Chain A
Amino acid sequence: MPINKKAYRRYRVIDACIRNKMRPFPTMEELIDACREKLDVDVSSETIQKDIYNMKLPYPDGLDAPIRFNRSKGGYMYTDPNYSMSGVSLNSDDIDAIKESLDLLNDLGGERLGTKFKFAMEKVLASMKEELPEDVTNRKVVQTDVPSGARGYEHFDLFYKATREQIPVSFVHYSYTKRKFKALTIHPVVMKEFQNRWYVIGYSEFHEEIRTFGLDRIYGPFLLYKEFMDLDPDHRLAYLNDVYGVFPLRDGEKEKITIAVRPIVAHYFQAYPIHQSQKIEMNDYRDAEITFELIPSQELVQLILSYGDQAQVIEPERLKSYIKRSK
């Protein structure tokens, strides 16, 4: 039997009173007064008695609370002093850690993710009679360059659910390059964030292959009752692990890519490797050759082009000519 929200709030007050070491063994009158004060509602002794009865019920119907009326003290007590309503004992360090994690998540994950997890964490903290102080959660100490109000982010929750639970999705996609709308169905396998933009990757029925779609170009997504088409695990892993960025070049396969770079560019690659396969060899003139085992992608092309004449592709020929055409 689910516990209703109003009753749960009373349980929290009763729990707080019983655990209050400053005023142990609260009487029925004190419990009624506490509910009136904390919740701003009038409750009867019958309601509190019923609440205590329900709290004592074993999980999942109740909270398994070891409440007993102590006749000699004239009030209520827990027979197990370590009892916690949440079933999880958190000490003050644990609670601080949760609060700090939540702050960090808020700062790093953007407003929407932050809010989603904030609600869940508030539930955990509420059971420990802890509140999230507004002044702390609103004070941003880590800044990321995720702009608020990015288009398509409102679909994040739907695609996250679809990806987790393997549910096909119908949506309308607008291609910036082709300037064309298309309604299509994908079977999403992963959501990927790259350079502050979110993408959903999955098998597209229309294209009959794995494809990447930016959330900013998606309209009207609907979850479907349809059999999910999962991808071959090897293909899936290659697409996810062997691509720098999100848009591999058409018919691209994993291959050795070598670029020659000037020293200053080599320093950036040393500081921020772009792939686990990256290897840097400095030559006698302090220039460097960097090699990767990657599927060539649009983002790799853009990265190389961004260094101008300080970075040049040595191999493969196909990537070399692609970059030449893109200049």
Chain B
Amino acid sequence: MAKGLLINLDRCHGCDSCIVACKLENGLELGSFYNRVAAVGPTGTYPNVQKYWLPVQCQQCENPHCVEVCPTGASYRDEKTGYVLIDKSKCIGCHYCLYACPYGVRDFNEKGGYAQKCTLCAQITADGSDVPVCVHNCPAGARLFGDYDDPQSDVCKEMDRYGDECVHTLPDCGGAHPLTRYILSPSIAEWKGLI
């Protein structure tokens, strides 16, 4: 089982709603973010330009560097869900995982003194009954959630609609093997592979 997000950048129009939905669901404070939306471009020179938006959050890596470097086991892969998660009670606030994450998507909770990041809304998704709120509420239908090992999952079905040239991952730094897939058709823009 490899549950994760798939984000269709042909659809994403950079409205930031996933950020706000996430913060409300997960009780994040001002200044804390589990996800961000970066504008990639416009590249080129006016008027011959391309642009797309790249929402980025925990990539649910197959080989998560954050788990590797964690000295206490606070960063771990949950057996039941397969999610990469953080056990706050074990976190000593050493920041190693923040440095180790190739995608810079870990956040540090200053008040609590622990690392935090996207949990795929485990509080509502762990039992399989719901999807993360960023997926549920995405105004463009650009975010999907499911098991990449299950051909009938929403993420696999969405990928099947597009050719291989449209399916991307963020650059694989140090063999982390990010699970999250991004769809971007060349007709919309050329994938820049940026983080």
Q: Do A and B come from one complex?
A: no
Q: Chain B residues in contact with chain A, CB under 8 A?
A: none
